[in-house]
Every structure is written in C-alpha cells, then in structure tokens.
Amino acid sequence: MAQVQRMSRLMVKTLRDDPADAETLNHKLLVRAGYVRRTAAGIWTWLPLGKKVYENVARVVREEMDAIGGQEVLLPALLPKEPYEASGRYEEYGDLLFRLKDRKGSDYLLGPTHEEIFTQVVKDQCSSYKDLPVILYQIQTKYRDEARPRAGVLRGREFQMKDSYSFDASDEGLAEAYALHRAAYQRIFERLGLDYRIVSAVSGAMGGSASEEFLAPAPAGEDTFVDCPECDYAANTEAVTFALKPVSVDGHPAVEELDTPDTPTIETLAEHLGVPASATLKNLLVKVDGEIVAVGVPGDREVDLGKLGEHLAPAEVELVTAEDFEGRDDLVRGYVGPQGLEKVRYIADPRVAPGTSWITGANKADRHARNVVCGRDFEVDDYLDVVVVEAGDPCPACGAGLRLDRAIEIGHIFQLGRKYADTFQLDVLGQNGKPVRVTMGSYGIGVSRAVAALVEQSADEQGLCWPAEVAPADVHVVAAGKAVQTELALDVSEQLNAAGVRVLVDDRAGVSPGVKFTDAELIGVPKILVAGRRSAEGVLELKDRRTGEREELSVAEAIARLSA
Ligand code: ATP
Ligand code: MG
C-alpha cells in the first residue's frame, strides 16, 4: 500500500528566492519548491517531488499509448554511429549531436531520436505483412546539445521523450496509425490538464496532415504561432495563407514614370514621394537553382525566405550578389519593376492580386513608375504565400484579425513515409508473396517538457499549482505546530491514505505555521488540509489551492470529500 509522505522525512528544501540565473517560471518554481536541481547547463536532477510529477505524466502517456495498441520497448541511448551515417543524420545534426568514442576509438553518439534504430529492430523482427501493423514506443532519455539550454526543463540537453514509431505495409495503414496517435495525444494532453492547439507543421503549399505539432500556449514558449480570436483556427506562422482576390484591371490611370534620385530602398522612396510603404511594390531578387527570380510583395511586408524555400524545394534559394548583375542590363539594382521584366520569372504574394496598382521601379537608375497595374502592365507567373505573417492579418478561415502568440511545442506527429525504410531496405513479404516496402510514422512527446509546460500554464504568484492528475499528492495536510494539531494531522493522513488518497503531510517540528503555509502554496498540491485552531474539537480547514476557497470540516467529512 502507498505510504503517507511525511515532510519531516522527505528530502525537500524550499527556497524563498528565485535562483539567480532563472528566466522562466518553471526554472524558478521547480527549483524553489524543491522538485529539480540543476546539475549542469540543460542537465537536471529530478528530486523526490519532481520525480512523482514526472512519473504521473509518464503514466498518462503510457496508458494512452497502450490503449492504441502501442508496445513499450526500451532502446539504448548510447548508439553506434553507422546507422546514423547511413541515414545522413550523423552529419545533418551538426553540433546538436553528442558524439563520443569508446576505448578502441570507435565512434558513438548519444541518441537525439531513434528512427534509425527502430527501423533496424523491425527489419530484424518482422518479415511478413502479417507481422504488421506495429506501433512501438519508449519513454527514454534523449540527448541534444542545444545551443541555448536556458529555459529550465523546457529545453534540456538531456531530456525525456516518449517516442513512438508506426510500421505499416500500406499508406492507408500509416494514415490510420497517424489518426490513432493524434487521438491519443488529444486524450493525453486533456488528462494532463494542458491547454493546447494542434497546428500543421508544414507550409500551406505541402498541405495535408502529414505533420502536426501540439502547442501549449505560454509566454515562455519558444515557438510563435497564429491564433484566431474569433474562430478555432490556429497555425504555424509558416502555414498561414492569404486568399487571392482579383479585381478589375480597368479604371486605373496610365503608367507614369517619376524622377526619384537616390531612392534605391522602399524607405527612401516612400519618403521622397510622401506615400506609405504599403503603396509601393518591393521586388526581391533571388537565385533559384542559380537562375534569377523576382519576388514581389507590398513594400511594407517582409519576405520569409524560409517559406519561399519550402515552396520551391527541392530547388535551392539564395540571395543575389553584385556579380549576378554583371551582363544583365535588364536588371537595375534598386530600381527593378515587374513591368518589362521579360526574361525573369515573377513570383508574387497574393496581396499583389490582379487589378491592384503599385509604385515600383522603372528598370532605370533613379526612376520609378506609378499606376503599375497587375494584370495590365505585368503578369505574375506564380502566386506563393511568401510574406512574414503579422498580427492583424486576416484569418484564412473567418477573416478576423489574427493574433501572434507564443507556445511550447509539447508534441509532434509525423507521417515519415519510406525514407528510413529505403535507407535500411525494410521490406516485408506481401500478400502476393512479393516484398513490400514498409511505411513509417514517428511521433514524439516531450515528457519532461510537459512538466515545464504545466508549470508555465498553471502556476500563480504563490507558486506551483498542479492539475490533479499530475500533482505529487492529492492533499497536503498541514499540522500547524501544537501536539494536538500534529496528532490530528497524522491521524487524518493515515485515514485518507487508507481510503486511497495520496497524502503529503507537513509534520515538521520547529517550523512556524507561516512557513508551512507558504511552503504548501509553493509546492502546489491541489488541496490543503489544515489542522489548526479547532483541532481539539476535531475540526479541520480545507483550502482549494487554485481558488483559495476555504471551508471547515470534521475528519469524517474531510475523508468523504477527498476520497470522492
Ligand atoms: P524544438 O523545435 O523545440 O527544438 P523539435 O521539433 O526539435 O523541438 P522533435 O524532434 O519533434 O523536437 O521532438 C519531439 C518532442 O520532444 C518535441 O515535440 C518536444 O516536446 C520534445 N523536445 C524536443 N527537444 C527537447 C529538449 N531539448 N528538451 C525537452 N524536450 C524536447
Ligand atoms: Mg518538432
């Protein structure tokens, strides 16, 4: 049977002050409440209370993974380099990978994630389509030499992840495994009491649900995402799309050239003409696989080169340099306009729709043109969403002004396809006796990060404030100090424990009631039960940690209430 946890014996040292180097709430509070201890940058020790919370999160994850038919395994963290060399990731990971040598000089790494090794396991264990589908998972320590591990357990260099991998003989099977994971993740994060959004992790161009992220909104988050205040639309900033709305090209005055000396930038041009930057058309020149391409966006918007790169992949996108203008009389640096740019492919943002009129370069030094109308004076070869999304941009679903918010990535689900199966030639014998290449999904949850996300979302000025499912105890019993109070506190604690309630009791001698109350608030167990003034009459005070509501109860009432 579970034991009452007695503060007098528990290794927990609370601190009044935040650690000097702490920037985030989870770092400050988990250290101050004695849940974790920093061992080195991004490397954490889980102390008794912290380990309880960590295990509660892990238990929820495990139960829901088991419920979708996941089979738990445990792979090593210390790995030979060869499989990662085969996949190319030994190089690709760069400085993120911890590399080491054994005594014979052979190369090893500390696993950052395990697609390669799981693929090898399944190749070894499964040979027929009858052995599939398979979902394997582990809750295991991962290693990534993060550049700035400064957000407490939110971003560790050593951290705990649930990683699972699905193996199927068909695309339909993969879609099903993906849907199972998505639903399991929803149940997991709901049970944990996390507020979260699901966003597509890939740009609109690739579309679909091949990869989605689970984001927990919190100011300490390192990801930015867009959120609609009016409807349930949420997306990765890279995935926001803007609808193309063509209007009539008629009714505009004719193109007029303007003398605009020394105005090679949007700022200098807008100032010279006394117009807003949004009235001008910015034409960024880039090289796509070596060929010069112009990208048109409104003058007040920035081009997101990452988004552009994703749209044009696998082609490579680079910025142009001075040499690229040599022998190109058609390209006048700083004065490029899409009208008359015959030899250059023109990509534009949908904001540059047919019928819109612009001030733009006249393709002559120190000259610009106005009344340059899209669809009349120039044509767009390809419309791509390439501008950096800004707060207030219209929601693609309902048109309301979007918000930009910060969030923590707590989970990621991904239809990998046959990438690793191809690398390791993972085939099974199909129904017709011919080999079938296996298709794979990979799915992660940051288990230690989820603990941090819970703190970031639920803590208040007094300290931690755990949702019931993950709290280190159900009730924190406080013995105010006198013998009769300690006696009552211990008595009710034993009775609660016998009724299946998880109890932490502050039975410390020589600690003032004030300190005990402050510690109880800081430690953050959902219910606080105080044996105080009316202990001699057998009356206790029950306080809700979150709402602060209090009520007086007899021992029997307290037990009935808390074991309900
Ligand atoms: P990030 O963008 O935050 O670096 P990632 O996209 O590289 O994360 P994945 O490879 O998708 O992370 O890993 C799966 C999950 O593991 C993430 O969704 C996240 O919850 C968790 N995770 C990743 N890196 C860390 C870390 N350094 N510390 C704690 N948890 C992490
Ligand atoms: Mg990710």
Rounded-to-integer distance, Cα 260 and Cα 500, Å: 81
User: What is the residue-averaged pLDDT of the chain?
Assistant: 95
Could you identify the atom of ligand 1 that is nearest to the CA of residue 412?
18
Could you identify the atom of ligand 1 that is nearest to the CA of residue 146?
27
Q: Which pLDDT score is estimated for 204?
A: 43
Please indicate whether residue 409, judged by its CB atom, sits closer than 6 Å to ligand 1.
yes
Please indicate whether residue 441, judged by its CB atom, sits closer than 6 Å to ligand 1.
no
Note the pLDDT tens digit of each residue in 470-487: 999 999 999 998 999 999
Could you identify the atom of ligand 1 that is nearest to the CA of residue 144?
27
Q: pTM of the predicted model, to two decimals? A: 0.87
Highest-pLDDT range among 187-191, 225-229, 264-268 = 187-191
Angle of helix 48-67 relative to helix 447-458, nearest 10 degrees, comes to 110
How much distance in Å is there from the Cα of 443 to the middle of ligand 1?
11
Angle of helix 25-32 relative to helix 447-458, nearest 10 degrees, comes to 90
Please indicate whether residue 535, judged by its CB atom, sits closer than 6 Å to ligand 1.
no
Helix extents (H) in 126-233? 171-192
Rounded-to-integer distance, Cα 239 and Cα 445, Å: 22
How much distance in Å is there from the Cα of 319 to the middle of ligand 2?
27
How much distance in Å is there from the Cα of 111 to the middle of ligand 1?
13
Residues facing residue 165 across a β-bridge: 136, 442
Please indicate whether residue 410, judged by its CB atom, sits closer than 6 Å to ligand 1.
yes
How many Cβ atoms are within 10 Å of 186's Cβ, its own excluded?
15
Ligand number with the minimum distance to the CA of 221: 1
Helix H or strand E encompassing 505: strand 503-506
Ligand 1 pocket test: which of 409, 410, 442 has the largest number of ligand atoms within 8 Å of its C-beta? 409
How much distance in Å is there from the Cα of 114 to the middle of ligand 1?
13
Residue 206 reports pLDDT greater than 60 = no
Residue 32 reports pLDDT greater than 90 = yes
Per-residue exposure over 368-385, b if at least 16 CB sit within 10 Å of its own CB, e if not: bbbebbbbbbbebeebbb
Is the domain spanning 256-383 CATH 3.90.960.10? The answer is yes
How much distance in Å is there from the Cα of 162 to the middle of ligand 1?
11
How much distance in Å is there from the Cα of 112 to the middle of ligand 1?
9
Please indicate whether residue 70, judged by its CB atom, sits closer than 6 Å to ligand 1.
no
Q: Which pLDDT score is estimated for 307?
A: 87
How many Cβ atoms are within 10 Å of 276's Cβ, its own excluded?
11
Domains of the chain, by residue range, sit at 25-208+410-457, 256-383, 473-563
Q: Name the superfamily (CATH) of residues 25-208+410-457.
A: Bira Bifunctional Protein; Domain 2 (3.30.930.10)
Q: Which pLDDT score is estimated for 25?
A: 96
Q: What percent of the chain has pLDDT over 70?
A: 99
Q: Which pLDDT score is estimated for 203?
A: 46
Q: Tokens 């890939």 — which residue?
A: 202
Please indicate whether residue 32, judged by its CB atom, sits closer than 6 Å to ligand 1.
no
Ligand number with the minimum distance to the CA of 114: 1
Please indicate whether residue 112, judged by its CB atom, sits closer than 6 Å to ligand 1.
no
- Which whole number is the average pLDDT over 518-541? 97
How much distance in Å is there from the Cα of 350 to the middle of ligand 2?
29
Distances (CA, A) of 333 to 29, 305, 318, 320, 339: 54, 19, 16, 10, 15
Locate 562 and state its tokens. 């808390």
Judge residue 444's burial from the number of C-beta atoms within 10 Å of its C-beta, 0-12 exposed, 13-18 middle, 19 or more buried.
buried
Note the pLDDT tens digit of each residue in 384-438: 999 999 999 999 999 999 999 999 999 999 999 999 999 999 999 999 999 999 9
Per-residue exposure over 107-129, b if at least 16 CB sit within 10 Å of its own CB, e if not: ebbbbbbbbbbbbbbbbeebeeb
Rounded-to-integer distance, Cα 355 and Cα 247, Å: 5
How much distance in Å is there from the Cα of 125 to the middle of ligand 2?
28
How much distance in Å is there from the Cα of 372 to the middle of ligand 1?
47
How many Cβ atoms are within 10 Å of 45's Cβ, its own excluded?
11
Residues 6+ apart with CB under 8 A from 371: 252, 253, 254, 255, 256, 357
Q: Which pLDDT score is estimated for 564?
A: 87
Nearest protein Cα to ligand 1, atom 18: 411
Rounded-to-integer distance, Cα 497 and Cα 481, Å: 21
CATH number of 473-563: 3.40.50.800
Q: Tokens 């690709």 — which residue?
A: 92
How much distance in Å is there from the Cα of 17 to the middle of ligand 2?
34
Residue 205 reports pLDDT greater than 60 = no
Please indicate whether residue 159, judged by its CB atom, sits closer than 6 Å to ligand 1.
yes
DSSP classification of residue 48: H
Nearest protein Cα to ligand 1, atom 23: 446
Q: Which pLDDT score is estimated for 202?
A: 66
Task: Of 63-67, 247-251, 327-331, give the lowest mean pLDDT range.
Answer: 327-331
Please indicate whether residue 448, judged by its CB atom, sits closer than 6 Å to ligand 1.
yes
Tell me the torsion sign for CA atoms 80, 82, 85, 89.
negative
Tell me the torsion sign for CA atoms 172, 178, 182, 187.
positive
Please indicate whether residue 411, judged by its CB atom, sits closer than 6 Å to ligand 1.
yes
Ligand number with the minimum distance to the CA of 144: 1
Q: Is residue 479 within 8 Å of residue 505, measured between CB atoms? A: yes
- Which whole number is the average pLDDT over 257-282? 94
Rounded-to-integer distance, Cα 438 and Cα 136, Å: 15
Could you identify the atom of ligand 1 that is nearest to the CA of residue 213?
18
User: Within 13 Å of residue 234, how many CA atoms lie on the same side as its CB?
Assistant: 18
Note the pLDDT tens digit of each residue in 111-147: 999 999 999 999 999 999 999 999 999 999 999 999 9
Q: Which pLDDT score is estimated for 200?
A: 83
